[in-house]
Amino acid sequence: MRSEHSIDTAYHGGVARTTTVASKVYRRAKRVARVQQDHFPSWMAREFTEDDLADVPAEWVPRQPDFVGVGTPKAGTTWWYSLLLSHPKVRLNRFGKKEPQFFTVPHFRDVSGRTGLYREGFAAPADCLCGEWSGNYLGYPLAIERLAAAAPDTRPLLLLRNPIDRTVSALNHVAHRSTLLQVKGERASFLWRYSLFPEAVKASFVADDFEAMLHHFPRSRVLVLQYERCRLDPHAEMHKTCEFLGLEPVPLVDERRRVNDRDYLIDRPGPDERAAMAELFADEVKRLVAMCPELDLALWPEFDR
């Protein structure tokens, strides 16, 4: 599905314009909204309690999470986590969520009293691993600090994507958020211009957050993966992931399945827009490559100069 407004204009979230094309876009957004109304993730609007934890066999060993994916949203993290979870020696956490978002709490109060609950959320047989992948941790205020205090021995995972493509996917994601929340008209336009659009773009600037994370987790304990490389050779990259986590690699099944595919409510950028975005992210990519030399810029052609 494709609308006729560009990524550099406000997503109007349901404003019926006078043109035929705009009317079609409006109807499309309304159809998406009707589908999403019944799928509001209410659990993400509150904090977990002990009642949310699934029961596990008594012999399973509780522990800090063995791994925590900390980023980045719209970079294939759900797909990669699903492949990791298909390993016979990896168990789903007791929250029952890929991304419990335990530390994305919108305040600056002390949360150390909830450390015990977080750790209770991870249990598995002694020879298995258990973890999570909350893609917002890297950039969310104090999330990494809180994670490091609660699980200092965990192994962070970070999946990076060409910031141009990640931004476009994120913009489409937040456009869907407007329909999910049933925000319409001028309110939707205001939300897009001053909150959703800058949020989606700024989330592609991860170098500062990554550098700050290294004050809490040594670089040797952090695995950085590149989405494009994972797509090209998922077997090799999952082999790398398993070795990093101390798992015996196993053959992947249905490794190229699509996860979280969404209809597009925005236009994909043309050559001129991509060039402008490449200029915006040029210094960011240089900094990332300096800290993560494993990144292959041949897979990010706008920056391979």
Instruction: Say whether pLDDT at 50 is over 90.
Output: yes
- 140-183: pLDDT as tens digits: 999 999 999 999 999 999 999 999 999 999 999 998 888 888 88
Can you give the pLDDT at residue 17?
35
When pLDDT is cut at 50, 70 and 90, the band that residue 215 belongs to is: very high
**Four-CA torsion 115, 139, 100, 11, nearest 10 degrees:** 150
When pLDDT is cut at 50, 70 and 90, the band that residue 36 belongs to is: very low
When pLDDT is cut at 50, 70 and 90, the band that residue 93 belongs to is: very high
Instruction: Say whether pLDDT at 249 is over 60.
Output: yes
> What ranges do the domains of the chain cover?
20-303
Can you give the pLDDT at residue 190?
93
When pLDDT is cut at 50, 70 and 90, the band that residue 43 belongs to is: confident
Do residues 95 and 121 lie in contact, with contact meaning Cβ atoms separated by under 8 Å? yes
Outline where DSSP puts E strands in 8-76.
Answer: 61-62, 67-71
Can you give the pLDDT at residue 35?
44
Can you give the pLDDT at residue 181?
84
**Four-CA torsion 54, 110, 203, 3, nearest 10 degrees:** 60
The residue type of 2 is R
Q: Is domain 20-303 annotated with CATH 3.40.50.12780?
A: no
Hunting for tokens 């099944």 — which residue is that? 253
Residues with Cβ within 8 Å of 155's Cβ and at least 6 positions away in sequence, in order, are 66, 67, 68, 221, 222, 223, 244, 245
Tokens (6 digits) for 115: 């450390």
pTM across the whole model: 0.86
- 99-127: pLDDT as tens digits: 999 999 999 999 999 999 999 999 999 99
Residues with Cβ within 8 Å of 106's Cβ and at least 6 positions away in sequence, in order, are none
